[in-house]
């Protein structure tokens, strides 16, 4: 297991990513002053963004149905914990965007290669209204993914 996003497991058989990029911002707005540099005040954390990129080869790795499952999760608008296989907990994240590019097509139109980029945004850990809840439908979907 490389990482989990809620109950979605990133691994060779689903969506193995080849690159993880993280950008964290802190807010320091400036107030203009005459004859001096702007005065800065620290207001706290800003955006915390994780971008995963990779290439799927559906004959060997996961494929379209796994990307579709991530889209379904994003469509719910809920936040899920993002936990690395090492045990590192990044916090609660929402899936903000998922971009895919298909190439190397077979005769039936199925893609032999799918390149993807996905962007996850961290939310505050105390934003309980955004937190995803496991229900019977979600559990059925997850069980179906690994059957």
pLDDT digits 0-9 by tens, 32-43: 999 999 999 999
pLDDT above 60 (res 142) = no
SS3 labels along the chain: CCEEECCEEECCCCCCCCEEEEEEEEECCEEEECCEEEEECCCEEEEEEEEEEEEECCCCCCCHHHHHHHHHHHHCCCEEEEEECCCCEEEEEEEEEEEEEEEEECCCCCEEEEEEEEEEEECCCCCCCCECCCCHHHHHHHHHHCC
Residues 63-88: tens digit of each pLDDT: 899 999 999 999 999 999 999 999 99
Does position 146 have pLDDT exceeding 60, yes or no? no
Pick from 25-29, 72-76, 123-127: least confident: 123-127
Domains of the chain: 3-25+42-145 (2.40.30)
Question: Span 116-144, mean pLDDT?
Answer: 71
Q: What is the pLDDT of residue 134?
A: 58
């Amino acid at each position: 297991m490389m990482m989990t996003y809620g109950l979605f497991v990133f691994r060779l058989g689903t969506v193995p990513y080849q690159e993880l990029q993280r950008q964290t911002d802190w807010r320091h707005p400036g107030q203009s002053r005459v004859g001096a540099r702007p005065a800065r005040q620290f207001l706290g954390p800003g955006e915390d963004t994780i971008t995963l990129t990779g290439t799927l080869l559906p004959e060997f790795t996961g494929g379209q149905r796994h990307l579709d499952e991530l889209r379904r999760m994003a469509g719910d608008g809920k936040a899920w914990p993002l936990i690395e296989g090492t045990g590192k907990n990044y916090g609660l994240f929402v899936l903000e965007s998922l971009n895919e590019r298909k190439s190397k097509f077979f005769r039936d139109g199925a893609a032999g290669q799918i390149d993807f980029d996905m962007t996850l945004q961290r939310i505050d850990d105390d934003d309980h209204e955004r937190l995803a809840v496991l229900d019977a439908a979600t559990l059925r979907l997850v069980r179906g993914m690994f059957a």
